[in-house]
Amino acid sequence: MRISRLYIAGSAIVSAIIVLLIFVTLIVNSSAAVAANGFHLFTYEWNPAKDQFGVLPMIFGSGAVTIIALCLAVPIGLMAAIFTSEILNPMWRAPVKSVLEILAGIPSIIYGLIGIAFFSVWVGDLFDLQSGRTILTAGLLLAIMILPTIITLCDDALHNVPQKYRETAAGLALYKYEIVKDVLLPIAKADINGAVLLALGRALGETMAVMLVIGSIDRVPEPFYNALSAGQTITSKLGREVAESAFGSVHFSALIFMSLLLVAITVSLTSLTQFYFKQEQRLVE
């Protein structure tokens, strides 16, 4: 028991040190861009030839693509999870979950190639666009990529609710949808929210598939809600330009600064998730 505790404590300390080293490395390597541009980093112009490195178009693109993906994937994923957990014949639940887990493990480049071959063409034809590589296309593709994660984790959350709650609710003559809506979903709410936040982290960190279908233009659409415009995310920008920038240059430093922003957002979301779970646990107790 003592060895196990020491191992767990050591692992936690090592993990914390690694995260700290990542932050320190990113801060040091992004200092040149901060010193050269200051608050001008938070502008709309990105032109390395003129030493202009505004990151707002990439921040906007990351947020827009993620929101579109979650708005599409969360309702569909939750309904699919309800079906597999509460309606589907139990003998089929394991095979269906296995297929979904296989989909979650498909490399992102495969999804990206499918997006180029089909989704970008469909979006272009549907909305009569010259190119279907848009923010909407990236959001659709990303929704499909995070859907297996949401379905699998939400299914587990619902399936782990003790059977006695279902039996008690059925004994009170509640309909099936009332049992799900008024009993199962409230009990599994914390785990479902955790599944959504995990999918959010996957969406923010996705690079290759999004890079292939978003159009990679460094601008905020006009008007800003025009999802049929090409855009850029932080990860797609890093994927395209980090190999083209000279190590130690202001251009390279600006890319590292975007990496620092992405890590900071991820860590903030993780911290908020942990705080949320602690609050939920206190309410239950």
- The residue among 197 and 137 whose pLDDT is bigger is 137
DSSP characters over 38-65: GGGGGSS-EEGGGTEE--HHHHHHHHHH
Q: What is the pTM of this model?
A: 0.89
Half-sphere exposure of 30 (CA within 13 A, CB side): 21
Measured from the Cβ of residue 263, the count of other Cβ atoms closer than 10 Å reads 15
Q: How far is CA 130 from the centre of its chain?
A: 28
Architecture in CATH for domain 2-284: Orthogonal Bundle (1.10)
Domain ranges of the chain: 2-284
Instruction: Give me the chain's average pLDDT, please.
Output: 87
Phi-psi region of 128 (alpha: psi -120 to 50; beta: other; left: phi over 0): left
Structure tokens at 80: 């699919």
Q: What is the pLDDT of residues 120-129, one digit of tens each?
A: 999 999 998 8
CB 139 within 8 A of CB 65: yes
Q: What is the pLDDT of residues 208-263, one digit of tens each?
A: 889 999 988 888 988 888 999 999 999 999 988 888 888 888 999 999 999 999 98
| Confidence at 280, pLDDT banded by 50, 70, 90 | low
What CA–CA distance (Å, rounded) separates 216 from 240?
Answer: 9
Least confident of 33-37, 197-201, 237-241, 273-277: 273-277
Measured from the Cβ of residue 136, the count of other Cβ atoms closer than 10 Å reads 24
Is the per-residue pLDDT at 2 higher than 80?
Answer: no
Q: What is the pLDDT of residues 5-30, one digit of tens each?
A: 888 888 889 988 998 999 999 999 99
CB 54 within 8 A of CB 46: yes
What CA–CA distance (Å, rounded) separates 38 from 96?
Answer: 52
Which residues, other chains included, contact 131 with Cβ-Cβ below 8 Å and sequence gap of 6+? 120, 124, 215, 230
